[in-house]
Structure 1
Amino acid sequence: MLQTIYRGLTEIGGPAIRLYLARRRSAGKEDPVRGAERLGIASVERPAGRLAWFHAASVGESMSVLVLINRLLDTHPNLTVLITTGTVTSAELMARRLPERAIHQYVPVDRMRYVRAFLDHWRPDLALWIESEIWPNMLSEIGRRGIPAALVNARMSAGSFRNWLRVPGFIRPLLSTFSLCLAQTEVEVDRLRRLGARDVRCVGNLKFSAEPLPADPAELAVLRGAFGDRPLWLMASSHPGEEDIAADVHAALRDRLPGLLTVIVPRHPQRGGEVSDMLARRGLPVARRSTGTLPGPGHEVYLADTVGELGLFFRLAEVVCVGGSLVPIGGHNPVEPAQLGCAVIHGPHMTNFSEVSAQLEAAGAAITVRDGAELVREVGGLLSDEPARTRLAEAASAVAERNRRVVDAVVEALAPALTAAGIQPCP
């Protein structure tokens, strides 16, 4: 019943969907050139041969699955990979980082005529969905067509679980589309099983297996020269409210740590203007990377409002605060700075990475702060105490290294699904 209602609403809602997309496009949240992809109209031809389709909602999910895409393409020479995401930022990153024989498209809006147009064109032999995306029309059509499907790196938050429990007749047939669910933790295994998923297993978090974020060597050298030996800390992937906290931290520590440079990398680079204005109002001299400005002696904040450059700043920062965690967003990936030898701090809101953050905390490999005042204390303490900073960074690197082989378990678990889809490895 709910599935029928949902399908009917999305069908009659065509004009509203187009208006919604137009408003997002005017706000810079939709691609003005490739907008037809959101309506299921492909912008490139389907290559001949077997095609595995990965769907990842946004930046974090798409970055985490790159290691799996590379592994499958290396071992299956006749395979092409299609990856769909829903955000402009993720599309820009995929354009830079996808290997040969991998294609990016925007995921179509979950309206049945768009879904069918997408599937008619791409005819995927296998669908691999990442983490927690549940689109009813798309999943029901995948099931109707008998396309082998698996849910990889599955995540189910407590809130989502409670909501889905209210509509068991709706979620159960959707999850049954997946013949295999590979969950990040045993908690997710239990939740997915209770909601009706089949063959659910815990293999760990694929984000541990991702390659360290890349950095352009020439740009890295330029920034090292510009930063010099100034004490430096990074607010990574920040959201509204967190830049204000970073400014408070800087103001509280600037006299104690002469020459202090605070680097802020907004999660959404298009917010660079508003963040820069806020810093200027607070009397903090700021250099913006998007304008090509490097920080000089007179700058106190470097605003890196560009796409895909976190790898640079993780290599340069002595101390990193993971964004999305000081405000109730759910936190971003602490494995990325851990892999690159940073001393990691995060706030209390790490529900998106609860198991990862728990591992780091148990190993003494990350510091949790409750608010800006505690962040001032920890950033100041770590920048002033090199041995403590080194211990924290080495512990974080060790946790990342211990979990690096998760991708092997994922590939092994997916082998039967690949075979069922006719995707064979090289002899």
Structure 2
Amino acid sequence: MPNVAKRKEPGEGVLRALYSFALYVLSPFTLYHLISRGFRVHEYFRRWDERYATYGSQPRRPCVWLHAVSVGEVNAAAPLVNVLLRQRPDIRWVITTITPTGSERVRALWGERVEHVYLPYDLPGSTARFLQHFQPSLGLIMETELWPNMLFGCRDLGIPVYILNARLSARSLRGYRLLRPLIGRALRTVKCVAAQSAADGRRFQKLGATAAQVQVIGNLKYDVAVPDCLDAVRAAFSAALARPRPVWLAASTHEGEEAAVIAIHRRLRARWPDLLLLWAPRHPERFARVQALAAEAGWKVGTRRGGHWPRPDDDVFVIDTLGELMAFYGCADVAFVGGSLQPIGGHNLLEPAAVGTAVVTGPHLHNFAEISRRMDEAGALRIGADAEAVGAALEALLADPGTRQAMTEAGATLIEQGQGALQRTLALVAADLPASADELAGAAVTAS
């Protein structure tokens, strides 16, 4: 493992002071952000003390800290956390997110087996209080969350930090250009950047990591676990419909994509009048709006909340719950993955492939460039240049079961070939996990 920067580099103090001063000046806007988001998602009105690292309880024993900004990163971390919870039940886990949906996903996956708090804003005082309170012995940061004061604080306290499943798009690299002198110094304090791909690794080096810090580990998303409930959900779904119907799913859609979903469903129902749309908006604050839009289009709409299933005469079924999307992928003939008709960067394309559903997406895929390229080359993905092309691809696949089957087989093969990042990640961080009781006992015997 490389030697990381344990002392301040030249110029660090000045850059940190300027950065922190700017954050303090802008800190009133954090309240505006929380209030404005709270009118849409009430959870943003709660737990403000965590956002500023003010804790009422006393510090507890040291922990392993994992940060996953939102739902996608929590899902990517899930295989790793699940294995370590089984192997090392003695470890105290603290998992931070930034979004309430990420918080809900943590609770849905692990309940009280882990502790969850929101990551505090990157103010020097807040990061210092967070580290003092939770006393992490190890920090694991998922994907691309680079907060300089937090990283410097870990360095100053001797806390090893790994950036796991690390990805950095060319667009994100350009976005860091103004802060690159500071970010580069902060990046050189981490023990390892476990990159998803060689291209990600090269971009992290351009940002400031040393070649010795970067290891290409692969993408944890390939180690996706099929939900245990998949067969049960499929059976209940089929029983609720009462008859075979064609089904497509629009997943992780954003506000600017909703009109396109309405237009595509209207187009497809002209050919298949009994076609059912399963619709899972990306953000919970859009659940009610999407339901209203579908009703305004003249369709009968059902919702999942409360454990309901589609009724036989539903035209649209809104999945207004969290944590069930992957199982519902398995109920669809073909799925469109959103965040891709706008320059958002796309969302997880492997989940529908893992449950045997053909996948269609739009052109904006910079957050999943490597995965989308590999799926496209393998014949496991259809990429539409715009909403019209996405609709045409969905129509062609609904009409061609043979092509859908070939796509799902190609996707399954690709996922199988891509797996292994989980075991490599476990091996990478093993040396910095807290010592187990047996290891401590052995060390005590050796010392005596």
TM-score by structure 2 length?
0.88
Residues 153-181 of structure 1: CA distance to partner in whole angstroms, max 9, x if unpaired?
11111122123344442122110121111
Aligned to 1:201: 215
Counterpart secondary structure, 1:287 = strand
Superposed, 1:89-128 pairs within 5 Å as 89-98=101-110, 101-128=113-140
Q: Does 2:301 correspond to 1:289?
A: no
Out of 72, 82, 85, the position equivalent to 2:97 is 85
Q: CA RMSD in A?
A: 2.3
> Structure 1 residues 251 and 14 mapped into 2: Cα distance closer, same or farther (>3 Å)?
closer
Residues 5-55 of structure 1: CA distance to partner in whole angstroms, max 9, x if unpaired?
22113234444433432332233164444332112134766553x521111
Contact 2:34 2:45 in 1 (8 A): no
* More off after superposition, 93-102 vs 404-413: 93-102
What is the number of residues matched between the two proteins? 423
Residues 163-209 of structure 1: CA distance to partner in whole angstroms, max 9, x if unpaired?
33444421221101211110011111111122221410111111111
Aligned to 2:273: 258
* More off after superposition, 222-231 vs 96-105: 96-105
Contact 1:77 1:426 in 2 (8 A): no
Query: Separation in 2 of the partners of 1:103 and 1:181?
Result: 25
Query: Separation in 1 of the partners of 2:406 and 2:239?
Result: 26
Aligned to 1:416: 431
**Structure 1: tracts of 5 or more residues without a match:** none
Residues 315-372 of structure 1: CA distance to partner in whole angstroms, max 9, x if unpaired?
2011011111122110100111111011111111111111111111111111111122
> Structure 1 residues 291 and 410 mapped into 2: Cα distance closer, same or farther (>3 Å)?
closer
Query: Separation in 1 of the partners of 2:83 and 2:19?
Result: 37
> Structure 1 residues 272 and 163 mapped into 2: Cα distance closer, same or farther (>3 Å)?
closer
Please tell me the residue identity of whatever aligns with 2:368.
F
Counterpart secondary structure, 1:134 = coil
Structure 1 residue 258: deviation in Å? 3.2
> Structure 1 residues 158 and 233 mapped into 2: Cα distance closer, same or farther (>3 Å)?
same
Out of 83, 99, 105, the position equivalent to 1:71 is 83
Out of 183, 192, 208, the position equivalent to 1:171 is 183
Contact 1:344 1:396 in 2 (8 A): no
Query: Separation in 1 of the partners of 2:124 and 2:39?
Result: 25
Q: Percent identity among equivalent residues?
A: 35
Aligned to 2:251: 236
Counterpart secondary structure, 1:241 = helix
Please tell me the residue identity of whatever aligns with 1:111.
L
> Structure 1 residues 385 and 269 mapped into 2: Cα distance closer, same or farther (>3 Å)?
same
Contact 1:34 1:43 in 2 (8 A): no
Structure 1 residue 100: deviation in Å? 6.2
Structure 1 residue 264: deviation in Å? 0.8
Query: Separation in 2 of the partners of 1:426 and 1:356?
Result: 41
Q: Does 2:416 correspond to 1:401?
A: yes
Aligned to 2:239: 225
Query: Separation in 2 of the partners of 1:385 and 1:117?
Result: 58
Counterpart secondary structure, 1:255 = helix
Structure 1 residue 425: deviation in Å? 8.9
Please tell me the residue identity of whatever aligns with 1:107.
L
Aligned to 1:35: 48
